[in-house]
């Protein structure tokens, strides 16, 4: 009997933790949408395809699954060829963003255009600075 009660309590606690975690992820993705709109959409556009013939599309699941590359790109910038074959374009470093803002942008773009949401902790971002 005690085992059943304990099992039920553990399952209930896990369900509550899971629900809270899912809500936190939704909140982070929502915050990421706002942060993306303020800092990224001018070049990458609201649909993630990038300004035609100029800036790279973010709609690449392989790119969006690469947590390390995403963090480094946002923190330190990155050079990438223009889509029209012209000179390379340098994405500026967004080091002025907080660790939470960077985490939120990654959660938003990976959730929106990737195969699954990529979560990067603020501690991971702080370590990459």
88-103 pLDDT tens trace: 778 999 999 999 999 9
Listed by start position, the domains of the chain span 22-128
Q: Once rounded to an integer, what is the mean pLDDT over residues 5-14? A: 50
Q: What is the CATH number of domain 22-128?
A: 1.10.760.10
Per the DSSP assignment, residues forming a β-bridge with 79 are 90
**What is the model's pLDDT at position 41?**
95
For residue range 49-76, list pLDDT tens digits in order: 988 777 888 998 888 999 999 999 999 9
- What is the largest distance, in Å, between two alpha-carbon atoms of the chain? 72
Question: CB of 102 within 8 A of CB of 38?
Answer: no
Is it the case that residue 112 has pLDDT exceeding 60? Answer: yes
């Amino acid at each position: 009997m005690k085992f059943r009660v304990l099992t039920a309590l553990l399952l209930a606690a896990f369900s509550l933790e899971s629900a809270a975690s899912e809500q936190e992820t939704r909140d982070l993705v929502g915050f990421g949408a706002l942060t993306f709109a303020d800092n990224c959409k001018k070049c990458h556009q609201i649909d993630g395809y990038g300004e035609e013939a100029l800036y790279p599309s973010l709609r690449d699941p392989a790119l969006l699954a690469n947590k390390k590359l995403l963090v480094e790109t946002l923190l330190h910038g990155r050079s990438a060829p223009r889509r029209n074959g012209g000179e390379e374009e340098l994405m500026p470093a967004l080091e002025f963003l907080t660790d939470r803002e960077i985490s939120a942008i990654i959660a938003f773009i990976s959730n929106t255009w990737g195969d699954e949401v990529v979560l990067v902790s603020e501690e991971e971002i702080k370590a990459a600075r």
